[in-house]
Structure 1
C-alpha cells in the first residue's frame, strides 16, 4: 500500500525548501541590481561633476584670456596719449575697430576718470556712448573694485615690476539684457607714473550667446551647450548657474548631460539578464532537486510513521496506535466504549482455502467493520483475526449492544473469496467506562474477559463486562483449555437484545446461538 504525502506536508516542504531559495535569489538579484544602479548613478554624477568643473575652469580661463588680450591695448603709451585729450578717430580705429577684429568682443567701452563713457563700440562700429547709460549700473561693481585696487597702489606696483599681472576686474553681468563676460582694465603708460585719481578705463564685453556656447561646448567636450536666463529643469540636461561677485545668478549654462553609467548599464543589462536567467535556471533546478529530495524524505517519514501505526495487510491502525488512542480516550473526562472482536471459524477458512484467501478475508472484514463505526470512532487490527473498536460516542449498554448486533450481522454475511463462499462469525467483548473510571490497561482487560465470556457462551455473540464475570471465566479456563477452538455447525443468529431502560449493573446480556 503506497503512502501519499498530505497536501499540508507538501506545502510545508515547499515552504521550508522553496521559499528560502526564492528569497535568496531575489536578495541576490536585488543586491546586484542595487549595486549596479548605485555604481552607474555615481558614475553619471561624477561625470556631471567633472564636466561642471571643466566648464567652470574654462570660463575662468576665458576671463584671464580676455584680460590678457585687453592688456596689450590698454597698457600702451599711445592709448594714454590719444585718450588724454580724447582722439575719437584714433580711439575708434585702434581701441575699437582693430580690437574688435583681433578678438571679436561685441562691445568696447572707454570711460574717463569719472566713469563716464566717452567711447562705445558695438560689433565693430562706433555708436553714441550715452547708449551705455542703462548698463552702467551693471558695470558699477566692477568699476568700484578696480578703482579700489588702483587706489591701493596695484597699478603702480605692476608698472614698477612689483606684481606679475596688471590689475583688472572681471565678472558676469547682464548688458542690454544679455549675459556677458566683462573685463575692466586701466589705460596706462608703462613708462609713466599713473594718474590714480583720474585713471581712464578700458572695458571689454563679450556676450554669452549661441556662438559663445558652441565654442565653449567644443572646448569643454560637451554637446548642446546653451546660455539661458532661466533653467529648463530638463532631467537630461546638466546646469551650471553663472553667479557674479554679488551672489546674483546672471544666467544658466545648460548642456546635454553625459551618461556613462547609463551607457554601461545599457551595454551590461543584456549580459546581466542572461546571467540572471542562467542563475534562475540553476536555482530552479536546485530547488526542484531539493524539493524532490525533501518530498522523498517527507514521504519516507510519513511512510515510516504510517507503517509504525498501521497494519500492513488491512491499512487499519495497529495495536500500538490503538493503545495510544485508548490511553487518550480514557484520560479524557468523557465516556468511552471498547469492543474486542475475535473472528469465529476463521482458522477453518484459512486451512481450507489457503493463506491468500485468509488474508483477503481479513481485508474484507476490516472493510465491513469500517463502515459501521462513527466518525469519531477507531477501528484497529490487533493481530491475526482480532480487531478492536473504540467508540467515544457510546455511553449506554443499549447503544453498545446495538453496535454489536450490527457487527455480528455484517460479519455473518457470506464472503466471496476467489469464487468460494465463506461464512464466519464474530465474538464481541464490550467494556464501558464513564469519566475516567478505568485506565487503558484495565479497559483492555475487561473487554478481553467479556470476549472470553462471549466465546464461552457459544460464540457469534456479544457480552458486556460485569465484575462477576472474572470468577466464571477463571473457572472455565481451568476446565476448558480449548475454548477458542472453532465448533462446526449451526447457523448463528442474534439472541434477543436487552430491553431499553434495563439496568446494566445487574444484567448479563448476551447474543447467543439459536437454531
Structure 2
C-alpha cells in the first residue's frame, strides 16, 4: 500500500505534486505534439488537394477553351457553307469575283477571324479556290496541309443533309491548326437548284499561334497557355491535340494555392509548437522551484486554457476565411450558431437570426429545409439548393450541406451559388434564343411549332405562320456598318414582339429573317390587318446615332392545316409566299397559293436557261437607228438585246432582264452586250455612235468603270463613240456613289444620257447635278400626244429645258409624220421610233447604213 497522503511530510507532498504535475504536463505536451503533427498533416493534405483541384480545374478550362474554338470554327464554316449564295458561287460555278473581290468568302475571314487557310474542294476532290493568309492563291489544300483529305471530305459530306460541320486538329508546318469543314449546300434557299452529284466542301484552317493561345488562356483564367516543346510533351499539364497528339500538345502553368497555404500554415504551426514547448519548459522550472503544488497546477491550467483559446481563435479564423458560412440548429430547427461570414455573404445581421427558425430564412423546391433534414437515411454528403432574399430583396441561391449532431440537432455549411445558377440559366437561354435580339432562334421555333401542330389546328382555328424579311436592310450594313445593323435589328425585333399576343411567338432565324407563329387569328382580313400593322411599325424610322434609318418588310403567309400540317412544309410554303411578295414589289404580303411553287420552278428554269444562253451565244443584238431630226441623217444606234429561246421562242427583255438583275446575271449579260455592241460599232462609219443601256444594280454590284474600260479595250473602239443610257433609279439608290462613277466615266470620254426622262419625280435636280450629255424623252409623251396646244407645250418645255442645260434631246417612240413635224417645230435634236426605223439585226442595220451613206439622208414617205 502506498503511503497515505495525509501522513506525507510537506516536502514529500511537494515532491509528489511536482511529479504529478510533471507527468500530466508531459502527457499534455505529447497530446499537443500529436495535435500539431495532425494539423501539419492536414495542412499538407489540404495543400496537395488544393493544388490537385486547381490542376483539374485548369485542365477543364483548357479543354473548354479548345472546345470553344472548335465550336466557333464549326459555327463559322456552317454559316458560310449552308448558304444558297455560296452554293451558287462556289459549287455550281467558281465565281472568284463574288467570293474574293466582293469579300463574301475572301480576305475578311483572315482579317476578322484569323483563318490562315481557306479552301473549296469540288466534287472531284480538287481544290478549286484557295485563300492563304488573306491572299488569293492557286494552292491545293492537301499540299498546304501536308496531308490527304479523304477523311475530312467524307465526314463533311456526310454531315451535309443534317447541316453538321466537322472539325479536326492537324499539324501545319510544326504548328497545331484547327480545320473546320462542311459540305456546301443551299440551306433553306428555295431559289437554288440542287444537283445530284457529291457536294463541294468548304474548309477553314485556323493556325493556333502563341499570341492567340495566350489571349485564349487569359479569357479562361489559364496562365502560360502555349505549345508544348518536345521536352514538355510528357509533363503533367499537357493536353494532346488531334489523335494521339498528332497536331501537337498544349502546355500551361496552373496556379499553386496549396503552396501559398503551406507557406503560411506550417510556420504558424511551428511557431505555436515552439510556444507550447517553451511554455511546458517554463512550467517545469516553476514547479521545480516552487513547493506549492496547487499554485503550479493552477498556473498550468491557466496556460492550458490560453493555449485552448489560441487554438479556438485559429479555428475561428480558418472558418471565417472560407467563402462559406457555418450554421448550427437545435432540435426545433432554430439557429444556435452562425459564423461571421453569414453577414458578409447574405448581407443580413447575424444576431437578428440567432434563435430564429431556419425555415423562415431558407426554402427549397421540395419543401422546407427541416423536412429535407428529417428524411430517413439521408446521405450526409448530399446537398440541397435553397433560396432566400437578401437585404435588397433580390432572390439568391445557396447550396446547403448538413450533418447530424445527435438529439435531432444539425450543423453544416452554406455556399452561395447564385452566379453559377444564373450562368447555367443563361447558357440554356442562349441555346434556344438569339444572342443579339433575345428572340427565340430556329431551335426554339421548331419546338414551338411542333407543339402547336400537335394540338391539331383546324380550318376554323388555323395556325398562322408569317415569314418576314426586311427590305433595304443590306445598305444599312454596307453604308453604316454592322453595329448600326445590329441596332436596327434589335429595334425591329422589339416592334414585332410588341405586336403579337401572349402565347404567340416571334423568332429570328437569319440575318434579317423573322418568323411569327400566331394562334388567335381566324379570318383572312385579321391576318391582313396584322400584316399591315407590322409593316407600318417596321417602316417607322430607327434612330442610329444622329441618323434616321428606314427599312420596310415583305411577308409570306402560310396556314395550317389549310396549306400544310407539317413544320417543314409550312416553313417552305411561307418562304415561297415571301418570295412572291418580294416579286410583287416588296413592302407587301402574300398568302401561299398552290400555283406559287410552279411559278418559282418555272422562274428557276428560266434563270438556268438564261445562264446557259449567256454562256453559249443564244442571245443576239438588234440596233435601233437614231436620226438627227433637222436633216434626217443617222447619228448612231441603240443596242437592244434579244433572246430567241430554242423552245419558248422570243422572250421579251422585260421578262428576262429583271431575272438577271435579281440573280446577279446582269453583270455577265451587260458585259456581253457591251463587248458585242462595241465590236459591231467598230465596223460602222466613224460618225456613228453606239448606245447601250445599264441597269441601276450595276452601279452597286461589280466594278462598273473597270468593266467598261475592258470592253472598250477589247473592241478597240474610241470612247467618244460610246453612249451609256441610265435611268433615274441609279441616283435614287445611292446618289453620291452614282455621281463618282459617272464622273469617272466622263473622264474616259464616254457620253451619258438620262433615259425615260419625265417618268420620275426629281429628274430636273438630277440634270443640274449630274454630268449628263443628253436626255431621252420617254415614249409615253408622244404616244399620248393629241392635237391640242397643251400636249405640244409639254414636248416644247422638255426640249427647251434640255437646250437650256446644253443637253442633246432625243425623242423616243416616233410613230407618225405628225410626231416628226411637231419635233421639228420645237427643234428637238434627235429621234428614234418605228416611223424612222424598226430595230434591225446586224445585217439589216448594215444594209441601212450603206443606203444612208449613198443617199446622204433618210428618205421617209
TM-score normalized with structure 1 length:
0.46
Q: TM-score, normalised by structure 2?
A: 0.29
- Bigger RCO (CA 8 Å, 6+ sep): 1
Higher Rg: 1
